[in-house]
Chains A and B, each alone.
Chain A
Amino acid sequence: MFEKKRMHPISVILFILKNIKDAVLPIIFMFILGGSGEDASTLDLLFRFGIPSVIIFFTIISGIINWFRFTYWIEDEELRIEHGLFVRKKRYIPFERIQSISVTEGLLQQIFGLAKITVETAGGALDESEAQLIAIKKEEAENIQSYIKKSKKKQSIPTEASGEQMATIAIDTSISDEEPVDIIYQASMKNIFLLAITSGGAIGVITAVIAFFSQFDELIPYEKIYTEAQLFIASSISLFIILSLFIIVFAYLIAIVQTMLKYYDYKVEKTEKNLIISHGLLEKRKITVPFHRIQGIEIIENPLRRLFGYVTFQVINEGGTDMEEPGKVIICPLIKKQEITAIVKSCLPDYQVDVELGTLPDRAKIRYMLRPAYVISIPVIIGGYFLRPFGWLLLVLIPLSMLFGYQSYRGAGWNMSGHQLTLRSRWIQTRTFYTFKNRIQSLEISKNWFQRRKSLGTIYSHVMSGSGRVADLDESVAKAIYQWYSRTDAE
């Protein structure tokens, strides 16, 4: 354990496999790019076989070198790793910086009685925050693990010399004995598939494809060609349609595969201070959300997913720099509505999700119904006028939009209980926003002229990197929320 050591030679194979997996896409690409059949030129052959074999050759060589130059040992209460061919990279990880150690066995490791040891530190970026010994003897892995744990325990005693020494020791042992991670959510393959087929990504790809082809529509001078070759164009139009349908389906499939790859092995772990979300097959992503940074939570019900009874659960994070969407971090991309209470309870026990929501007053109904009608009435009238007589069929959209507005009215709600404020609004998707009094940065009630006449008000609660809003609450409710937030007692 204390002398410099190499890993088991199997790690060469593991390393090669890992790198080939990363290079699989370029290899396939080259294969397709290269021509086929008898008329394949030398260049094509070069593309097809030359480049992939060069890639594979270098992967194998670098795998061997990597194994040869990679050494690890333990010294001075540090785990030390040195690797690299020309540039020697040294990585010394002091034990007190180690957050967690895990020992896992993959298929290959199991066959040879080996194990993989992963050491995580509290660093920021993914690459920097962990060190892996991908294949070492099982006993050795266990020895290292217990050695690190033991010396971590020892360290904590001399640092806290006086006073509450006993208590500190007790706490420290309990922490290091306890397995720090606790898996609270794992998406099943079925869920990931459902997520993929209902994802915006797929819809995005389709709209992009449609937009692309509508561009073609203008580019291709149909009329000119039409006079020249009527029959030909007639058949090619149907070909065109079939082709575009085919491409849409293909794009949809690609989007599904993309989403599935992205969310593969999706899991959420809970440690003492953080929620850790990790997912991805080809590219492993990992997001750490410290509990104290969570400003509020949101439950999103998208209409398509609601059909299957699924919702999305996300938290509003104070904001980091490496977030995909600043502020909002998805915890469960897809979860059965019934399970949400249990999940939230297990990861954020302070939040109460299943509160009963108050509804909006009756007099708000007409405002909700008219609002979307206003928005679409102008385009509908213009469209109707220019496409008459059939354009007037667009008028059907107005009652439909009012129905939509009615749905929004039914979907809206609010609740105050203890320190928690819950606001729900519905537009295309239903969004339920939960936050605490001490997380709200400022609170607003706004009333326009019509709202004043009907004693209604819109409430906004702003938190860091997010906000919640419900329109047309009863004036007394809005005032009550305002009063709830106010630090000055009511007179």
Chain B
Amino acid sequence: MLGEPAKHISERALTVWKIRGIITSGLSLLIYVTISVVIFIFHWPKWIIIPLVLLWIVETYFIIFFNPKLRWKIWRYEVREQEIEIQHGLWIVTKTLVPMIRVQHVDTTQGPLLKKYHLASVKISTAATVHEIPALEDVEAEELRHVISNLARVADEDV
């Protein structure tokens, strides 16, 4: 039986995800504050603020600490000669199999945050779907892109 794919993604991904979590948490804090202000202006019952605060704390814990860690633990990939296997997810864990001969093209992308941490993500497109391996070391991502596109080409010739 096929086990789990062998490789983890870069540990620095964790840092990037945490920073993203902090940004999201900051944005939602802004929304909650706005709601609280509205509550004060219209003299609605003030106790509503308490669940809002609790909600924000729980949310922040999940998006900054719990989710990135679990996601990183689950995220695995493996590039074999004839296929790529990817496992990802949080509550729903998905395992995907993409044969090399089905790969149409490979892209690497790098946003400002990823760039700062020398990371990049690799996007693998088939004729029907797109699969992303996020946050690889950028050297590794580049290498992977070459490997996949070479293997895909070779496999193509076999057909």
Contact = CB atoms under 8 A, between A and B. Distances in A.
A442 interface: yes
A274 to B, nearest CB: 21
B59 to A, nearest CB: 19
Given A441-B126, A441-B129, A488-B80, A483 B93 contact: no
Contacts of A487: 80, 82-83, 99-100
A485 B126 contact: no
A373 B131 CA distance: 33
A485 B97 contact: yes
B118 interface: no
A442 B83 CA distance: 10
B2 A479 contact: yes
Given A462-B128, A462-B129, A488 B95 contact: no
A462 B104 CA distance: 14
Interface string A419-451: 000000000000000000000111111111100
Given A463-B128, A464-B128, A443 B97 contact: yes
Report the interface size class on chain B: 20 to 34
Nearest to B124: A442
Given A479-B1, A488-B80, A442 B97 contact: yes
B110 to A, nearest CB: 24
B93 A446 contact: yes
A486 interface: yes
B92 A442 contact: no
Interface string B68-109: 000000000000111100000101111111111010000000
B127 interface: yes
Interface in A465-484: 465-467, 479, 482-483
A482 B102 contact: no
A488 B2 contact: yes
Contacts of A490: 1-2
Contact of A465 (B95, B97, B128): B128
Nearest to A457: B95
A388 to B, nearest CB: 25
Nearest to B127: A464
Interface string A365-408: 00000000000000000000000000000000000000000000
Interface residues of A, number: 25
Given A441-B126, A467-B128, A488 B82 contact: yes
A488 B5 CA distance: 12
B97 to A, nearest CB: 5
A316 to B, nearest CB: 10
A452 interface: yes
Contacts of A482: 2, 95, 97
Interface centre among A452, A479, A487, A490 (most CB of B within 10 A): A487
Contact of A486 (B2, B92, B126): B2
Interface centre among A442, A466, A483, A487 (most CB of B within 10 A): A442
Contacts of A465: 128
Contact of B97 (A452, A464, A486): A486
Given A483-B1, A483-B2, A486-B2, A445 B128 contact: no
A442 B95 contact: no
Contacts of B96: 442-444
A476 B149 CA distance: 33
Interface of B: 1-2, 80-83, 89, 91-100, 102, 126-129, 131
11 contacts: A444-B94, A444-B96, A444-B97, A446-B94, A448-B91, A462-B128, A465-B128, A483-B1, A486-B2, A487-B83, A490-B2
Q: Which 7 A-B pairs have the closest CB atoms?
A: A487-B82, A441-B128, A446-B94, A441-B126, A448-B92, A462-B128, A442-B98
Given A466-B128, A486-B2, A487-B80, 11 more contacts: A440-B102, A441-B128, A442-B98, A442-B131, A444-B95, A446-B89, A483-B2, A485-B99, A487-B99, A488-B80, A490-B2
